[in-house]
Amino acid sequence: MDVLSDVLDTIHIKGALYFEVEAGQPWVLVNPPMNVIGGYMLPDLEHVIPFHIMLDGGGWAKSSNEVSAPLRLESGDVVMFPMGSSHVLTSNLNDWNGTPVEVSFYQQTAAKQHPFTAVKIGEEGERAKLVCGYIGFNAKPLNPLLKTLPEILVVKEHMSNDGLMKQLLISTLDEMSNSSDGAKNIVTKLSELIFTQALRQHMENSHDKQDYSWLAAMRDELVGKALILIHQAPFKKWTLELLAKECGMSRSSLAERFNQLVGQPPIQYINRWRMQSATKLLAEGMSIVQVAEHIGYSSDAAFQKAFKRYIGVAPGEWRAKQQH
């Protein structure tokens, strides 16, 4: 089973493209943090990740927290900032000074009926073209990806000149320019593909043996097997003993290794993932009573109590927010 695909399918990913930027050298693009503008760009989602697609030209990108070194961007690359930090893109590695865009600009853009805006920045030098968008998803009760991602991720050559992804993006931009409602659905799928590819490249390129994270856990022979078993049958009546037996480990060894890599005990992970799965079932239209029975609760009252403990709101209230 592909555990990553299961997680991505369950955390309610949504995407939006907001800006097509034409930049002339020298240019600097300063972006505010998502805790300031994320609520405008993708309302009602708990975590928002900004991303930029370098369609033509090149530049550099870095997070404003200056923990990570600047990364080179070339035509076809996608850069995203998983922690939602403020960040800067520039045509010149030695020039990061720019004027931040007013927050009101993002608020006004998002409030438009079709919030897609063409922007020109910089001077009259060599041109670059970027598309700026956002990926959002829910963080509660269990989004195992969040703690495992770096400040900045670059997907190399994802939008290469002859690639299907680039052609799909160009067609989507045309649809958005024509204010097509259907373009929104394409953007969501496109965002999912971009995010998935970023994660897979990150997994392939990260081989640090001291990496303690959910992505590292999936690469681990034993804990990875436990995760596969859990995601194959999340509603099975798992006990630590049963899970350890099927993984060929002792209870203490599995508990220690799982907690070290995943950051929580196996049974806690299972309980949270069941509730995350419940949010998906509710979003798909299953009734509260049906969801309670499906994930193994003896009564819908017990399920509703547990759901509110994990999610923070009652199931009916949560579903109403998703349909807003």
pLDDT tens digits for 34-58?
999 999 999 878 889 999 999 899 9
Candidates 309, 311, 290; CA nearest to 299 is 290
pTM of this structure: 0.81
pLDDT tens digits for 233-273?
999 999 999 999 999 999 999 999 999 988 889 999 999 89
Where along the chain do its domains lie? 3-205, 214-322
Instruction: Please tell me the CATH code under which domain 214-322 is placed.
Output: 1.10.10.60
For 111, the 3-state DSSP assignment is helix
Instruction: Please tell me the CATH code under which domain 3-205 is placed.
Output: 2.60.120.10
Rounded to 5°, angle at Cα 37 from 33 and 42 = 120
3-class SS string, 229-286: HHHHCCCCCCCHHHHHHHHCCCHHHHHHHHHHHHCCCHHHHHHHHHHHHHHHHHHCCC
The tens-digit pLDDT sequence of the chain (324 residues) is 578 788 877 777 888 888 989 999 999 999 999 999 999 999 878 889 999 999 899 999 999 876 778 999 998 888 999 989 999 999 999 999 988 889 999 999 888 877 788 899 999 899 999 999 999 887 677 677 777 788 888 888 777 666 666 777 777 777 777 666 777 778 777 887 788 877 777 777 766 555 667 878 888 888 999 999 999 999 999 999 999 999 999 999 999 999 998 888 999 999 989 998 998 888 888 999 999 999 888 888 999 999 999 888 899 888 887 765
- Asked if the domains at 3-205 and 214-322 fall in one CATH topology, the answer is no
